Structure formats: C-alpha cells, structure tokens
Structure 1
Amino acid sequence: MEAMFLLIAISLVFVVAIGVAFWWAIFAGQFDDSDSAAKSILGDEENE
C-alpha cells in the first residue's frame, strides 16, 4: 500500500512537470510557426 502512495506522488510530480513544460512552450512561441517546416521540404531549392 505504501508503494502505491509513492507511485501516485511520483506520477503527480511528472504530470505537473509536463504541464509546466507545455505551458512554457505555448507562451515561449514554440508553436507559432508550424507551417514553414512542413513547406520547406516541398521547395525545389538545391543547396550546393
């Protein structure tokens, strides 16, 4: 029973850490320009 409480506490810490990382990524602008990477592979530019 003690192991279950320990695992629940550890999982809550992980959930909070992932939530904070996602919150930071949203407000840091990580998802602002998601189209340019997808369109860059379709271009006909040759880098030599």
Structure 2
Amino acid sequence: MTDYFFLIPIAIGLGLCGLAAFLWALKSDQYDDMQGAAERILHQDDVPLSR
C-alpha cells in the first residue's frame, strides 16, 4: 500500500512531462508539413557520393 504513495506521483509526473514535451513540439511547429517531408524523401536527387 505504501508503494502507491510513491508510484502515483511518479506516474503523474511522467505523464505531465510527456504532455509538456508534446505541447512544446506543437508550439515549435514540429508537425506543420508532414506531407511535404514524406514527398521530399521520395523526390530527392540521387547524387553518388564522391570518394
């Protein structure tokens, strides 16, 4: 029973940290152009690396 007094605040704290990280990612425009990033990979010029 006493373990719950430690585990519940830790779980709430980790959840709040995850929520804060998600909100920070939204605020810093990490999810703006998901379609463009996917198409950029497919249409990239294939230039061989020089050695």
TM-score range, shorter chain: 0.7 to 0.9
How does 1:1-48 map onto structure 2 within 5 Å? 1-43=1-43, 45-48=45-48
Residue 40 of structure 1: how far off its partner (Å): 2.0
CA shift for structure 1 position 44: 5.9
Larger Cα Rg: Structure 1 or Structure 2? 2
**Aligned-pair Cα RMSD in Å:** 1.4
What is the TM-score when the length of structure 2 is the normalising length?
0.78
Over 3 Å off, 4+ runs:
none
- Can you give the 5+ residue segments of structure 2 that lack an aligned partner in the other structure? none
Aligned residues: 48
Structure 1 residues not aligned, in runs of 5+: none
Identical-residue share of aligned pairs (%): 33
How far apart, CA to CA, are the structure 1 residues paired with 2:44 and 2:23?
36
